[in-house]
Structure 1
Amino acid sequence: MTTAFMLAWPYGIPRIMSSYNWPRKLEKQGDRYIDSNSYIGPPHDSGDHILDVKRNPDLSCDSTQWICEHRWHQIYNMVRLRNIAGSEPVANWWEFNNQIAFSRGNKAFIAINNDVKPIDMTNSTGLPAGTYCDIISGGLIDGKCTGKTLTVGNDGKAHIFVDNTWEDPMIAFHIKAKI
């Protein structure tokens, strides 16, 4: 959620970090537990040479060694949203408790839900009329959406629904994700 917000909000220069798997090995010492893997470093061979990242066919990586957050589709799709939104200002701001939604001018829209209830409302999106593919739950591949969709009316408004129980309780759309 925080990475999506950082990439959607027009401030600063975002930095996307990736990491490696750090298995914890807790051992009881007296009345507390100590992680005996307090520093294991990145995946390496016996000569302490860092191992190459093993990529899967979908460009994710072998999560037993590397995590590669920058390759998660939600992250690289949000980087694209930020690039498409460019210098567009924040508009169409909406908030309620731990829920927010806003557009980046008429180029992008995001809704984030960190509350115990779903977002279920109609709001201005700033986007031109049409149907858009959610870049968080999927993406636009060969003109077909692999995720949720959003239909924006001629008035720029759309029914926004974001369930708090979704794995990624947010939706994001940009003009290049128009179906």
Structure 2
Amino acid sequence: MSNTRFSLTSPDLQEGHFMAKDQEFDGFGCNGANISPALNWQNAPEGTKSFAVTVFDPDAPTCSGFWHWLVTDIPAAATGLPRGAGKGSLPPGSRSFTNDYGSKNFGGACPPEGHGMHRYQFTVWALPEETLPAPDGASAAVVGFMLNAMALAKATLTATYAR
């Protein structure tokens, strides 16, 4: 048995550090490039048959946070997603769900002006099935529920942003 831990890294993000304007949303009063960062994962647990990637802001002024990106059914052979994959260039077989902006693509950071620092939790989930058992039109809450119920492991990188 290996002592290595499932982990997530990015050449575009650093744990606890401010994201670049490239990762800011383009809309809702924001004018960033809305480019998803490159994500790399390693040491997936034995039995992993697919991955999912989510981006969540727990500091959004809502009763339920804010979902920025939900992708499931990423093939088990994948070891990451390239920069800009959130504009629809995901690995074949991957499935995207509607984020809280109403899009199936990556939606960058766009906290309200003057609201303070927000955390953006980029999480990769190792899953024991090739397909997440959620219907295509499932809400972010249902997808999140299924991921938490099924995950063999997860790894999170948390970046920050404020306006």
TM over 0.5: no
Whose RCO is larger (CA < 8 A, sep 6+)? 2
Larger Rg: 1
TM-score by length of 2: 0.23
* Bigger helix fraction: 1
TM-score by length of 1: 0.21
